Amino acid sequence: MSQSHSRIYLHIIFHIKSTSPHIMEKHTERLHEYIGGLVNSTGCKVIRVGGVSDHIHILCLLSREETVSHLVEEVKRNSSRWMKTLGEEYRQFEWQGGYAAYSVSESVVEKTMEYVANQKEHHKKMSFRDEYIQFLKLYHVDYDERYVLSD
């Protein structure tokens, strides 16, 4: 019996709920490491996790046994639970209900990895909302402005 292989790179993005406390800078690196571990625990392979106080970017290789929706559900559910253990200030921490997931060509994996790693610098120049809409347009995703970043 032959073995099946896949090499599907994913760029996943999700945001905190509007009522959620923001992620403090002193906790971002630990959160990114924790999320990387969660991605790996699903059988996928994390390449890079990044983000700032209100959102996360994940670049990973999708396992051939995992679905995108289940991967994101596991990461969001478990990281939200973990954030609440960091202190009383995160008692109301929650991720938004939605997410974005885009396939990434092997030829731009390095560029995407740098993009995810440099979120802090990137967001000095562009808001998350503008970034998100830019991705929607780049990938030709139909969207309704009223629902962009809604909880």
Residue 2, pLDDT score? 52
Cβ burial, residue 8 (10 Å; 0-12/13-18/19+): middle
Q: Is the pLDDT confidence value at 149 over 80?
A: no
Q: What is the pLDDT of residue 116?
A: 95
Domain holding 113, by residue range, is 8-147
Q: Which tens digit of pLDDT belongs to each residue from 22-64? A: 999 999 999 999 999 999 999 999 999 999 999 999 999 999 9
Structure tokens at 62: 């999708």
> The whole model's pTM is what?
0.89
Q: Per the domain annotation, does 2 fall within a domain?
A: no
Task: Please give the DSSP secondary-structure letter assigned to residue 90.
Answer: G
CATH of the domain at 116: 3.30.70.1290
Does residue 126 sit within a domain? yes
Written as one letter, the residue type at 7 is R
pLDDT tens-place string over residues 93-136: 999 999 999 999 999 999 999 999 999 887 888 888 888 888 88
H-type helices in the chain, by residue range? 25-41, 68-84, 109-117, 119-122, 128-138
Contact 115, 122 (CB under 8 A): yes
Query: How long, in residues, is the chain?
Result: 151
Instruction: Count how many domains the chain has.
Output: 1
